[in-house]
A and B are shown apart, each in its own frame.
Chain A
Amino acid sequence: MDVSQYLGIFLDETNEHLQTLSDQLMILENEPENEDTINEIFRAAHSLKGMAGTMGYKRMQNLTHDMENVFSEVRNGKIKVDGHMVDILFQALDALEEYRENISENQDEGTNDNEPIINALQAILNGESASAPAPAADTAEASPEAAAAEEAAPAAEGGSDENKWHDIVLHEPEQHVISEAIKNHSNVFGFTVYIQETCILKAARAFLVFKALEELGEVIVSEPSTQDIEDEKFDFDFSLYFVTDSPVEKVKEAIAGVSEIDHVVGDVIDMDKAKIFNEDDEDAGASETTAETKEESAAPVSSAPATTSAPAPAPAAKDSKSTDSKKNTGNKPAVNRTVRVDIEKLDVLMNLVSELIIAKNSLVSFAMTESGGHSGFNEQIEYLESVTTNLHESVMKVRMVPIESVVNKFPRMIRDLSKKLNKQMELHMTGEETELDRTVVDEIGDPLMHLLRNSADHGLESLEVRRERGKDEVGQIYLDAYQDGNNVVIEVRDDGNGIDTEAVKRKAIERGTITPEQAETMSEKEIIDLLFLPSFSTAKVVSDVSGRGVGLDVVRSKIGALGGDVSVKTKLGEGSTWTIRLPLTLAIIQALMVVVGKEKYAISLGSIQTIEDVAEDDIKYVEAREVINLRDTVIPIIRLRDILGVQDEKDPSSNMVVIIVKKGDQLAGLVVDELIGQQEIVIKSLGKYINCSSRLISGATILGDGEVALILDANVLI
């Protein structure tokens, strides 16, 4: 599994968890009995373990696993927290930090097993108040042998007998625990658990077995190791040694109580027969050194590191392997340095920037009224302007995320649809790296999914029809995203049937949405617009995929809520293109300030095409609507005075200022009285009390002089 795309998240979360661990350990040091803290640490260690396991960082997983074990014991009240333990936990934390460093640098956790720390943790688990583990210098030496042990361990198999637990190799700490247990008159059993061969989640079952066992006593050792069991690195059986006060039958019952367990065999162990670490088989060397390492950590004072006898082949192999993998990963670019920020903090930052811009605007208007006598003052303003613009951009970028996270799931969806609809189709995506405001990206998934399903279901013809029409049997669907000025455009295109406007018309009449007379006079665009009405579907057969009449209206309202719009171009028999336009940012825009009557309005620069000076005489009439003919394009004009209900009379002048606005490829001319100029404005909501029925006003902004100006949504006018 390729998990590299989650690396950023993994590192972020690891950071968070390490931070939690370190904070909570501090608390624990002062309040060893604090239960909340212990739980918190347990949870953090557990999450870390899970994450590291998923990402395939075995060493990190091992270490956190042992930390988790320690805390699980602490939580159960079996071990008391003391200074020594906290010390070791901090060392473990540092080791984890080191792993994280390594991973973020070259995506590899490194080869340090931190065996001494693990051993120390084990020692705590086993109730030994062992002294501090070998210092870091020894750690480096110890790790190759540990690696060797890891390599060799799975080799320890054999014995055709069902009681495979006889083959478990006991190391010294385990022997110690067993002899202690026997001394305390506890029972020590060996078990081999067989899982049904039909079982899919072996590791989960094994986990349940361990969980059941933990209620009765303590698992001393298992074969394969708990680590390998968790990773499903075992066939259908595993063996373990278990210390308990319960009788063997009860334990067997508990194990067999876990579902999908085939059967379990086990009995009291006989220390004489148990395989001890210095056994005479091929992996003796490896086992021995491991044991020595353990010994050394348990009693570092007495023994000089017995590393001289370290067997050559295994560690060498391991080493070369790790260097190999380093070579592979070393050249990869370092992970994206990501930062996770509380969205509220970002909002605060955004508000601050907003205020900065307001302050700047008031300076600008001040400068204008003071007739700009001081050039130094103007320079300062220009500087302030560039600062605020940059600040705005960078803050905005913090909020921007690529749409990748949303569209990545679509290929799979199309594949499934292809099976379900029995149509062959391919999805081609471009521009996944296009960035949009976080809030927009979160919301855009559903509308896009609707459109893609629509294309797959309604758009693409069935196989037979495609053949008949001489089209490629495999239907093509395209999803293209790109930035266009202040907008981001996402297009969903297919080479299917296109929209049959006649069918739409018939359906609309059938449903009583329009009268036959109306249908006669409707333009193609108006007919297509009918599709966006609630509960309107043209699919002849209501299918699982789409065609229940919920969809396009939802798409339009959702996109509308994000400040964008959706349009469609279609050609019968050749396919359709759905175009979604979204604003890059939601909070601050470049706008053109205009005057209508005595009121000031802002129009987003993004939708403005050109500004024209038009003589009153140039106005022509088409279907009783005013139009102008501008460079061979007939453009309907809209008098904002009338639309906005401005009362006072305008002095009749021969020329009008017409702002040509664009929505998709439709144009319209807005007649205003005066232009003020371009300004960066901060969008403020009008709040929920005011109910602007025409949706003409998309918000308000505060001007430099403190006055409020309204923002016109040109898209609604077209």
Chain B
Amino acid sequence: MDALNIAREYETVQYIVIKIGEEQYGIDISFIDNIVRMQSITRVPHVQPYFAGVINIRGEVVPVMSLRLKMGLEVDEYTNKTRIIIVKSESNAPIGLIVDEVREVVTLDETSIDEVIRDSKVDETYINGIGKNGNTLISLLDLNAVISDKDNS
């Protein structure tokens, strides 16, 4: 009952917190279809450089993108913690994002989400908010911006 009341007071959204380098990012959980371990990725020649290739998810061929390369960071180093997050928004086909680590799920309400502040390290166009979870800051990814292909077109 309490939880329900709180939910009514503030809109809350659950985010999956991922790590790229030292920074933490949040992805709206409603867009996440699946999280899989790193697996062999089939390279596709002559494509946008940030596409690592394609993988097989339950019989579907899903393209996989390196978030690091998309954000202009150094090349991924695949470790035991590396994951591929399969995101899928309503009408769009699924797409995989390679991240360094998946940490936890957090619930943020409106009051703990700030507008975007200038960030020198990462291209801010991929972020649509900063979430505060205790002492840590979480950059909230704007998935549409991440997925769209504007810098190549």
A138 to chain B, nearest CB (A): 61
List 27 A-B pairs, Cβ < 8 Å. Answer: A354-B59, A355-B59, A599-B42, A643-B45, A686-B61, A687-B61, A687-B62, A687-B63, A689-B51, A689-B95, A689-B149, A690-B44, A690-B51, A690-B54, A691-B152, A692-B45, A694-B45, A696-B45, A696-B46, A697-B46, A700-B54, A701-B61, A708-B53, A708-B54, A708-B55, A709-B42, A710-B44
Is residue A688 contacting chain B, with contact meaning CB distance below 8 A? yes
- 1/0 per residue, CB under 8 A from B, across A679-695: the answer is 00000111111111110
Cβ–Cβ < 8 Å partners of A684 in chain B:
60-61
Complex-state Cα separation, A692 to B93, whole angstroms: 17
Nearest 5 CB-CB pairings of A with B: A708-B42, A684-B61, A694-B46, A700-B61, A644-B45
Scoring A355, A690, A709 by chain B CB atoms within 10 A of each residue's CB, the highest score goes to A690
B23 to chain A, nearest CB (A): 24
Residue ID in chain A nearest B147 by CB atoms = A689
B64 to chain A, nearest CB (A): 10
Cβ–Cβ < 8 Å partners of B54 in chain A:
686, 690, 700, 708, 710
Residue ID in chain B nearest A695 by CB atoms = B46
B53 to chain A, nearest CB (A): 8
B56 touches A706 (CB 8 A): yes
Is residue A707 contacting chain B, with contact meaning CB distance below 8 A? yes
Complex-state Cα separation, A701 to B59, whole angstroms: 9
Is residue B81 contacting chain A, with contact meaning CB distance below 8 A? no
Is residue A333 contacting chain B, with contact meaning CB distance below 8 A? no
B46 touches A692 (CB 8 A): yes
Quick one: which of B46-75 are within 8 Å of A by CB?
A: 46-48, 51, 53-56, 59-63, 65
Complex-state Cα separation, A120 to B47, whole angstroms: 73
Partner of B63, one of A355, A690, A693, A702: A690
Cβ–Cβ < 8 Å partners of B44 in chain A:
686, 690, 692, 697, 710
B143 to chain A, nearest CB (A): 12
A708 touches B63 (CB 8 A): no
A702 touches B56 (CB 8 A): yes
Which bracket fits the contact residues of B? 20 to 34
Residue ID in chain B nearest A600 by CB atoms = B42
Complex-state Cα separation, A644 to B47, whole angstroms: 11
Residue ID in chain B nearest A703 by CB atoms = B56
Cβ–Cβ < 8 Å partners of B53 in chain A:
708
Complex-state Cα separation, A689 to B40, whole angstroms: 19
A707 touches B42 (CB 8 A): yes
- 1/0 per residue, CB under 8 A from A, across B100-125: the answer is 00000000000000000000000000
A688 touches B93 (CB 8 A): yes
Is residue A645 contacting chain B, with contact meaning CB distance below 8 A? yes
A243 to chain B, nearest CB (A): 58
A707 to chain B, nearest CB (A): 6
Is residue A96 contacting chain B, with contact meaning CB distance below 8 A? no
Scoring A687, A692, A701 by chain B CB atoms within 10 A of each residue's CB, the highest score goes to A687
B residues in contact (CB < 8 Å) with A: 40, 42-48, 51, 53-56, 59-63, 65, 93, 95, 147, 149, 152
Is residue A659 contacting chain B, with contact meaning CB distance below 8 A? no
Complex-state Cα separation, A686 to B95, whole angstroms: 11
Complex-state Cα separation, A644 to B61, whole angstroms: 20
- 1/0 per residue, CB under 8 A from B, across A576-591: the answer is 0000000000000000
Is residue A358 contacting chain B, with contact meaning CB distance below 8 A? yes
A691 touches B149 (CB 8 A): yes
Cβ–Cβ < 8 Å partners of B55 in chain A:
708
Complex-state Cα separation, A700 to B65, whole angstroms: 17
Partner of A687, one of B59, B93, B152: B93
* Given the contacts A707-B40, A707-B56, A708-B56, A689 and B46 also touching, CB distance less than 8 Å: no
Partner of B47, one of A354, A599, A691, A700: A691
Cβ–Cβ < 8 Å partners of B47 in chain A:
690-693
Quick one: which of A341-360 are within 8 Å of B by CB?
A: 354-355, 358
Complex-state Cα separation, A708 to B53, whole angstroms: 10
A689 touches B42 (CB 8 A): no
Complex-state Cα separation, A684 to B55, whole angstroms: 12
Partner of A358, one of B51, B59, B95: B59
Complex-state Cα separation, A366 to B54, whole angstroms: 23
Residue ID in chain B nearest A701 by CB atoms = B61
A650 to chain B, nearest CB (A): 16
Cβ–Cβ < 8 Å partners of B40 in chain A:
707
Quick one: which of A664-689 are within 8 Å of B by CB?
A: 684-689
Residue ID in chain B nearest A689 by CB atoms = B63
Complex-state Cα separation, A692 to B44, whole angstroms: 8
Cβ–Cβ < 8 Å partners of B45 in chain A:
643-645, 692, 694, 696-697
Scoring A689, A691, A693, A707 by chain B CB atoms within 10 A of each residue's CB, the highest score goes to A689
A272 to chain B, nearest CB (A): 75
B48 touches A702 (CB 8 A): no
Complex-state Cα separation, A340 to B147, whole angstroms: 39
Complex-state Cα separation, A354 to B95, whole angstroms: 22
Residue ID in chain B nearest A712 by CB atoms = B45
Cβ–Cβ < 8 Å partners of A701 in chain B:
61
Cβ–Cβ < 8 Å partners of B147 in chain A:
689
A686 touches B63 (CB 8 A): yes
Cβ–Cβ < 8 Å partners of A690 in chain B:
44, 47-48, 51, 54, 63
Complex-state Cα separation, A684 to B54, whole angstroms: 11
A708 touches B61 (CB 8 A): yes
Residue ID in chain B nearest A644 by CB atoms = B45
Cβ–Cβ < 8 Å partners of A688 in chain B:
93
Cβ–Cβ < 8 Å partners of B95 in chain A:
687, 689
Cβ–Cβ < 8 Å partners of B61 in chain A:
684-687, 700-702, 708
Cβ–Cβ < 8 Å partners of A694 in chain B:
45-46
Complex-state Cα separation, A355 to B56, whole angstroms: 13
Scoring A691, A692, A694 by chain B CB atoms within 10 A of each residue's CB, the highest score goes to A691
Complex-state Cα separation, A384 to B136, whole angstroms: 56
Cβ–Cβ < 8 Å partners of A691 in chain B:
47-48, 149, 152
A354 to chain B, nearest CB (A): 8
A714 to chain B, nearest CB (A): 15
A349 to chain B, nearest CB (A): 15
Complex-state Cα separation, A418 to B47, whole angstroms: 49
Complex-state Cα separation, A687 to B56, whole angstroms: 13
Residue ID in chain A nearest B95 by CB atoms = A689
Complex-state Cα separation, A692 to B149, whole angstroms: 13
Complex-state Cα separation, A685 to B62, whole angstroms: 9
- 1/0 per residue, CB under 8 A from B, across A624-659: the answer is 000000000000000000011100000000000000
Complex-state Cα separation, A599 to B44, whole angstroms: 10
Cβ–Cβ < 8 Å partners of B65 in chain A:
689
Complex-state Cα separation, A599 to B53, whole angstroms: 12
Residue ID in chain A nearest B43 by CB atoms = A599
B138 to chain A, nearest CB (A): 25
Complex-state Cα separation, A694 to B54, whole angstroms: 17
